[in-house]
Amino acid sequence: MENQTPQPAQTVQQSQPQAQPQFAPNRISDRELIEKIYTSVERTRKYFLWTMIITIVIFVLPLIAMAFILPTFISTLTSQYGGISQLGF
């Protein structure tokens, strides 16, 4: 027996002309589309920024305020109950 190694199959490359896309003259150019997309992305970024700012103002700042107000309220409340407990209730 002869030692035969299989030969790789040779592919035939056919050169086909590349079809260039035909654009109608009234179509928007790529640059104009990119500018519109950029404008839309910037608008969306600003919406997210303001959403974050409003979330901080509505949620986080009241929590910080409660850290200062709540101890004073608890102190006042316990002093009132301290006076009642001395009466024997």
Q: What is the mean pLDDT of each run of 10 residues along the chain (89 residues)?
A: 61 63 68 94 98 94 93 86 64
Q: Is 52 helix (H, G, I), strand (E, B) or coil?
A: helix
Contacts of 36 (CB under 8 A, 6+ apart): 28
Predicted pLDDT of residue 81 = 76
**pTM for this entry:** 0.47
Predicted pLDDT of residue 38 = 97
